[in-house]
Amino acid sequence: MNLFDKSKGAPRCIDSLQTGENVSWFYRVQEIVKKKTKNGDDFLDLTLMDKTGRLPAKVWNNVGEYHKLLRAGDIYKISGEIRDYRGKKQITVSHLRAIVSGDPGFDPGDFSETPPFDSEALLVETFSLLDGNLSNPHLHRLSELFKEEYGPVFRQAYGAQKIHHAFAGGLLQHTHSLLKMILAIAPHYDLDKELLLIGALFHDIGKTAEFKTQPALETTLAGGLLGHLVISLTIFLEMKNKIADFPEALSIRIQHLIVSHHGEKEYGSPEVPKTKEAYLLHLLDLLDSRLNIFSEQLKSGEAQKLFSDFNQVLGTRILLDK
């Protein structure tokens, strides 16, 4: 038996793991990618998860054997050392095996990921903000339909697969942040806050169909061939068509907010922002996503370090002195 293949004490949840310690516990493998080192040697790049979050993992030894054993979405007993890589924790796997009947400490409930906040309360607050600020009857009805059709999904959905708000409830948290910022900033520039609120509500809803996170993290057929901007646009149009006499000019302005919110064509938007509202939504979306990256980096950074390793998205190292 492998030295680390001994379950000890309480569950080793991902959010409690510390750099430098050895761990041997049960984790779901969400993603498996076989890669090569600069020397041409094979290794496995894994994403592990439990109810508390996700963790990258690397397999350097027995790559062929483990690659045959692993299947995305399944749960394994995984042993290894927690190490720091570019300012984030990851596990270097020394041994893994399939779970067996009667494994001490194994609980299937440990793999139902839940948001790291009260998502029901935030959902209520989100739609309270909308209800209190949407006087246009068409937009108010649109918000009601959204809540009826997507409320439960919205509570649980990731905001992205990897870059920002990449956790259960992340999409709701991100959208709520945009709504709050819109209410604070739109009046200062005399912008159409109601148009912006609906644009923010719909801008990323396509992510609920772009990828799935359970049991494995993977892009869907629609996500791979269309992307979330097109899916978000389609969802808006289908919902808008359920509302009698929805003004066409208003519909087109909302569509523009959705398709232009990435800001540049090279970043996936089929059109760049051409209204003040569209430009603001793009900037707020970028701001919230980037500050979330800062927050996640600060949470995962090592206490003894002053700066993180280079962050590819931000293009810099982050000061870890809180």
- Whether the bond between 215 and the residue before it is cis, its omega within 30 degrees of 0, is yes
Amino acid making up residue 127: F
Rounded distance, CA 232 to CA 37, Å?
A: 38
All domains of the chain, ordered by start, with CATH?
14-111 (2.40.50.140), 119-298 (1.10.3210)
Q: How much is the pLDDT for 291?
A: 93
- The listed range with the strongest mean pLDDT (51-60, 113-122, 245-254, 297-306) is 245-254
The encoded tokens of residue 195 equal: 């148009």
pLDDT digits (tens, 9 = 90+) for 118-144: 999 999 999 999 999 999 999 999 999
Query: Where residue 110 falls among pLDDT bands split at 50, 70, 90?
Result: confident
Count CA atoms within 13 Å of residue 170 on its CB side. 23
Rounded distance, CA 230 to CA 227, Å?
A: 6
- Work out the mean pLDDT of the chain and round it to a whole number: 89
Q: Is the pLDDT at 2 greater than 80, yes or no?
A: no
More confident residue, 184 or 263: 184
Q: How much is the pLDDT for 1?
A: 40
Q: How much is the pLDDT for 10?
A: 59
